Amino acid sequence: MILLDTSVIIELFRKKDKKQTLFYAISKNEPQLCISAISHYEISIGNRESHREFWEELQKLITVIPFDESCSMAATDIYINLKKRNKMIDLADLLIGATAVAKNIPIPTLNVKHFNRIFGLKIFEP
């Protein structure tokens, strides 16, 4: 199982040639793709009408991982650690990373700079 960061889905929306996306590279070899509930929210509110149908079809292929108590506990630890090191990242990225850490799922991202700051996070590289 792979937990896709929001950036991977956004790239898929934006690029005309879908075969040139990280999503495509991952989906060729990984049968089980998922996103966090946070990514689902980010994509849903930022989705253009022109992408609505594409998003609805894509959601059928991707499992949404809920943000539960274990994710909240991981997010708290990550927040404290980042704050101590003065290396804070966007809240959405922190929560997505916490979901990956709590569920022990690797995460591909186009925002490696921020996600590299999270201890215990496995960044997936195809």
**Local confidence pLDDT in tens for the 126 residues of the chain:** 999 999 999 999 999 999 999 999 999 999 899 999 999 999 988 887 777 888 899 999 999 999 999 999 999 999 999 999 999 999 999 999 999 999 999 999 999 999 999 999 999 987
- Determine the pLDDT at residue 111: 94
What's this model's pTM, rounded to 2 decimal places?
A: 0.93
Q: Decide: 35 and 64 in contact? Cβ < 8 Å.
A: yes
Domain assignment of residue 124, yes or no: no
Find the domain containing 13 and state its range.
2-115
Which residues neighbour 10 within 8 Å (Cβ) at sequence distance 6 or greater? 43, 46
Domain assignment of residue 42, yes or no: yes
Q: What is the total count of domains within the chain?
A: 1
Q: Which among 38, 110, 28 has a CA at the least distance from the CA of 74?
A: 38
Which residues neighbour 56 within 8 Å (Cβ) at sequence distance 6 or greater? none
Residue at token pair 């506990």: 73
Domain assignment of residue 50, yes or no: yes
| CA distance linking residue 99 with residue 77, whole number of Å | 12
CATH number at residue 91: 3.40.50.1010
Which residues are paired to 4 by β-bridges? 35
